[in-house]
């Protein structure tokens, strides 16, 4: 059975909507009857020259691979310190951001030309597929289990996987490490922080 106050509220809402529509029709009769132009009718038809220019402009806005990987480094470093503080929700956040940015790079550049002497094309998306289901999954599982010892071991193994990928694209000088200093962040790692509320 429907309650009386609920029925009264529904009736008032319908009556108010009808009155509003009548007032709008009475005060602005032309606006109420004028057809609304669609977005398609307002847009200029694209020709191939315009389309090519738009594509080039959009390509210029896409971040470089190194920019995306700097984001990965930032999130991965913060993940370490969140895990060390046993702030598992924050660690999960940084894990998700790290993985999301790596996936973004894989969509942008699934094949990367090696900087080695042969300049061979390396299927980094294929490499990541293997890492994603092994060492990266181990980090995720350690976070879910709130297991500090497993987290530290999985984090180290994942860094080794990262380095294998760096070497495969001819960049062995990009040697990751366990972070020793936390770069200043606007987010606290303290899972018991009381401010801000």
pLDDT(156) > 70:
yes
- CA distances to 101, 139, 141, 154 from 182, in Å: 20, 19, 24, 19
Domain locations in the chain as residue ranges: 63-168
Tokens matching residue 173: 């000088």
User: 6-61, pLDDT tens digit by residue?
Assistant: 556 555 555 556 566 655 666 665 554 555 555 555 566 678 888 888 888 888 88
CA 134 to chain centre: 21
> What is the rounded (10 degree) CA torsion for 160, 85, 145, 163?
-10
Predicted pLDDT of residue 79: 97
Which 3 state secondary structure label does DSSP give 186? Answer: coil
pLDDT(132) > 80:
yes
Which of the residue ranges 126-135, 141-150, 186-195 would you say has the lowest mean pLDDT? 186-195
Predicted pLDDT of residue 42: 59
Q: How many other β-carbons are positioned within 10 Å of the β-carbon of residue 63?
A: 13
Average pLDDT over residues 155-169: 96
Radius of gyration of the chain (CA): 27
Predicted pLDDT of residue 40: 53
- At 148, the pLDDT band (50, 70, 90 cuts) reads very high
- Say which residue, 123 or 1, is predicted with more confidence: 123
Query: pTM of the prediction?
Result: 0.70
User: 71-120, pLDDT tens digit by residue?
Assistant: 999 999 999 999 999 999 999 999 999 999 999 999 999 999 988 788 89
Bridge partners (DSSP) listed for residue 122: 112
- Say which residue, 86 or 184, is predicted with more confidence: 86
Instruction: Compute φ and ψ for 113, nearest 5 degrees.
Output: -75, 125
- The CATH number of the domain covering residues in 63-168: 1.20.120.290
Predicted pLDDT of residue 182: 82
């Amino acid at each position: 059975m429907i309650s009386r106050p609920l029925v009264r509220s529904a009736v008032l809402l319908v009556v108010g909507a009808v009155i509003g529509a009548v007032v709008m029709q009475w005060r602005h009769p032309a606006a109420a009857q004028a057809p609304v132009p669609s977005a398609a009718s307002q847009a200029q038809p694209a020709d191939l020259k315009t389309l090519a220019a738009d594509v080039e402009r959009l390509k210029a806005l896409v971040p470089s691979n190194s920019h995306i990987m700097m984001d990965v480094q930032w999130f991965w470093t913060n993940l370490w310190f969140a895990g060390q503080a046993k702030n598992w929700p924050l660690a999960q956040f940084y894990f998700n951001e790290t993985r999301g940015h790596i996936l973004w790079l894989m969509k942008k550049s699934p094949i990367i030309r090696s900087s080695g002497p042969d300049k061979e094309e390396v299927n980094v998306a294929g490499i990541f597929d293997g890492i994603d289901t092994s060492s990266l999954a181990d980090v995720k599982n350690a976070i879910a289990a709130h297991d500090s010892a497993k987290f530290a071991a999985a984090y180290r193994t994942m860094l080794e996987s990262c380095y294998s990928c760096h070497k495969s694209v001819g960049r062995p000088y990009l040697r990751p490490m366990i972070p020793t200093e936390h770069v200043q962040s606007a987010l606290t790692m303290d899972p018991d922080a009381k401010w801000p509320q």
